[in-house]
């Protein structure tokens, strides 16, 4: 979530620029806005807790002057049982330059000043707060970020999910600049209709990188997100610093697969999305996957507009065979991840992809099926963290 605030002369000092002490007040206002636009301050009162600031760490990167408009973003950067950390960034809208970043650790306390658990409603409000960027094409993409330094990492969700499937990664991976957008037509980018081609999603994401002044990013794509990542690898190879293909495939649909997409499209048009989503949900998870994860995924899927489901099924049906692209990726750091119980894109497919990219690594995640980031977040985070840290060190 982000808000824009204009800098006034009375916030500036003898040198004419925004004084260092004024930043804290502006960040505070941005946090207040976040709550005011979301659940309201009542969210704390209702749970009987106060958020007490335990520590605030601020980094100043550039200046701001009267009349400058700053964009303040606020995102959950970490959480414990009784504490949570918010990362806020202020950027100049005139050139996108990061001006200051603040990390604030809050401890939730009761009226007797004893630490108490962070209310679930507070976490929900903080994690559901996207930023929005309007691309030159006119499409607005909602996205969420965590971390500022290190390698930019773009997380591309699968079908029919949204950026929230990467929540465990945004909170758990450190030292890198993590960005999780909602693809056009999904999540909070759903004002626009989904496109019926993977290449259009790829163009959106390149335009988003442009808007964020990011030259190259590690692109992490799960399933349909992997199809999008491969379209980026084919058409915009120079924008990739690395590639993570998770529970996906490079090949096109075969005849049976295409017929299945057509049947699903017809069912959605005739009977609505229910039967198609129900059938998909049955195939997504490992036996041991927690009921809470299954329910959360079912809820997210249920929010997707039928028109987006239909357009995406057509896009997946018509996507080309990108296995030849893999051979051309030699030299691009590549990691392939798959759940050992994945029935939609099974481990054999992942092994083939990893073998086709010279130097690619393969991680098979036990106890996960098609959605390892949600089913086995700790294992996935460990693999991603190691991959990104190695890339950061240039090894």
β 83-92/2-6 pair status: unpaired
Report the site for ligand MLT in 362-381 (rule: CB under 6 A).
370
Q: Which is nearer to ligand MLT, 173 or 224 (CB)?
A: 224
Q: How far is the CB of 390 from ligand MLT (least distance, A)?
A: 27
315 touching ligand MLT, by CB under 6 A = no
Q: How many residues make contact with ligand MLT (CB under 6 A)?
A: 7
The reply to whether 387 sits near ligand MLT by the rule CB under 6 A is no
Angle formed by the axes of helices 198-211 and 306-317, to 10°? 110
For residue 344, the minimal CB distance to ligand MLT (Å) is: 5
Following CA atoms 341, 344, 346, 352 in sequence, which dihedral angle do they give, to the nearest 10 degrees?
-160
Residues 317-336 that bind ligand MLT (CB under 6 A): none
Q: Is 57 exposed, middle or buried (0-12, 13-18, 19+ CB in 10 A)?
A: exposed
The verdict on 195 binding ligand MLT (CB under 6 A) reads: no
Residue closer to ligand MLT by CB (options 3, 276) is 276
Q: Report the residue number, 223 or 379, with the smaller CB distance to ligand MLT.
A: 223
Nearest distance, CB of residue 370 and ligand MLT, angstroms: 6
Site for ligand MLT in 99-158 (CB under 6 A): 158
Instruction: Give strand pairing partners of 36.
Output: none
With CB under 6 A as the contact rule, the residue among 159, 166, 186, 285 that binds ligand MLT is: 159
Which residue from 210, 344, 364, 385 is in contact with ligand MLT, where contact means CB under 6 A? 344
Shortest approach of ligand MLT to residue 158 CB, angstroms? 3
Q: How far is the CB of 369 from ligand MLT (least distance, A)?
A: 11
* Distance of alpha carbon 67 from alpha carbon 8, whole angstroms: 6
Say whether residue 2 binds ligand MLT (CB under 6 A): no
Binding to ligand MLT by residue 339, rule CB under 6 A? no
Binding mask 267-306 for ligand MLT (x = CB under 6 A): ----------------------------------------
Report the residue from 316, 325, 353, 383 that binds ligand MLT according to the rule CB under 6 A: 316
**Cβ-based nearer residue to ligand MLT, 47 or 344:** 344
Chosen residue from 223, 289, 308, 379 binding ligand MLT by CB under 6 A: 223
CB closer to ligand MLT, 152 vs 373: 373
Q: Which residues bind ligand MLT (CB under 6 A)?
A: 158-159, 223-224, 316, 344, 370
């Amino acid at each position: 979530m982000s808000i824009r605030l204009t800098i006034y002369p009375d916030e500036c000092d003898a040198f004419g620029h925004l004084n260092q002490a004024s930043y804290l007040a502006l960040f505070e206002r941005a946090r207040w806005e976040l709550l005011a636009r979301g659940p309201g301050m009542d969210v704390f009162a209702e749970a009987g807790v106060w958020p007490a600031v335990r520590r605030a760490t601020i980094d100043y990167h550039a200046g701001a002057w009267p009349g400058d408009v700053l964009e303040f973003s606020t995102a959950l950067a970490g959480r414990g049982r009784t504490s949570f950390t918010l990362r806020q960034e202020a950027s100049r809208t005139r050139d996108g330059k990061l001006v200051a970043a603040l990390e604030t650790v809050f401890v939730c306390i009761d009226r007797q000043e004893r630490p108490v658990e962070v209310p679930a409603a507070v976490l929900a409000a903080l994690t559901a707060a996207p930023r929005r960027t309007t691309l030159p094409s006119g499409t607005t993409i909602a996205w969420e970020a965590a971390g500022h330094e290190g390698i930019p990492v773009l997380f591309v969700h699968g079908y029919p999910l949204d950026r929230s499937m990467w929540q465990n990664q945004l909170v758990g991976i450190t030292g890198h600049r993590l960005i999780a957008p909602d693809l056009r037509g999904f999540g909070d980018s759903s004002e626009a209709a989904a496109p019926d081609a993977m290449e259009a999603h790829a163009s959106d994401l390149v335009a988003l990188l442009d808007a964020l002044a990011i030259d190259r990013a590690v692109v992490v794509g799960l399933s349909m997100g992997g199809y999008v990542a491969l379209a980026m690898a084919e058409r915009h190879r120079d924008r990739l610093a690395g590639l993570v293909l998770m529970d996906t495939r490079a090949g096109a649909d075969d005849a049976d697969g295409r017929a299945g997409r057509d049947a699903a499209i017809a069912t959605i048009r005739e009977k609505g999305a229910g039967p198609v989503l129900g059938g998909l949900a049955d195939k997504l998870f490992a036996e041991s996957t927690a009921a809470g994860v299954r329910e959360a995924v079912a809820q997210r899927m249920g929010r997707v507009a039928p028109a987006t489901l239909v357009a995406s099924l057509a896009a997946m049906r018509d996507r080309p065979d990108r296995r030849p692209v893999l051979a051309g990726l030699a030299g691009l750091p590549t990691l392939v991840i798959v759940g050992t119980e994945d029935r939609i894109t099974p481990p054999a497919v992942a092994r083939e992809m990893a073998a086709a990219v010279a130097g690619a690594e393969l991680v098979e995640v036990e106890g996960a099926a098609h959605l390892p980031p949600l089913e086995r977040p700790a294992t996935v985070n460990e693999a991603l963290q190691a991959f990104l840290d190695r890339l950061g060190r240039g090894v």
